[in-house]
Amino acid sequence: MRGLPKDRIPFVVSAKVCGPFSVFLVFDDGVSKRVNLRRFLKGPVFEPFRTPAGFKKLRVDHECGTIVWSDQADIAPETLYLMRAERGSAA
């Protein structure tokens, strides 16, 4: 598993939903992978996004460099960067 860059926080530059709770991410350093985010969708802020239809509302916030669903629901780019790719993904 790759660690975090020592001199900066990686930014998400693109994200595409590719399964009920999976997303294909591309970071600004060229790293790309498909990850499953189901385990992160906890608490009331994520409740509207725990269905496949709600999850598809995911977008990239280019100012923050991460994925978001609303002004309050996001996942830190460092967390996404350190996640293992899904098995069987072509990342």
CA distances from residue 27 to 31, 39, 44 in whole angstroms, order as listed: 5, 21, 28
Token representation of residue 43 = 């608490």
Task: Look at the block and give the residue holding tokens 């100012």.
Answer: 63
Q: What angle do CA 11, 87, 4 make, to 5 degrees?
A: 30
Task: Give the chain's domains with CATH numbers.
Answer: 12-82 (3.30.2020.10)
pLDDT, residue 55, reads 97
Give 89's pLDDT tier (boundaries 50, 70, 90): low
More confident residue, 36 or 89: 36
Query: How many Cβ atoms sit within 10 Å of the Cβ of residue 84?
Result: 11
How many C-beta atoms surround the C-beta of residue 44 within 10 A?
Answer: 8
Its pTM stands at: 0.88
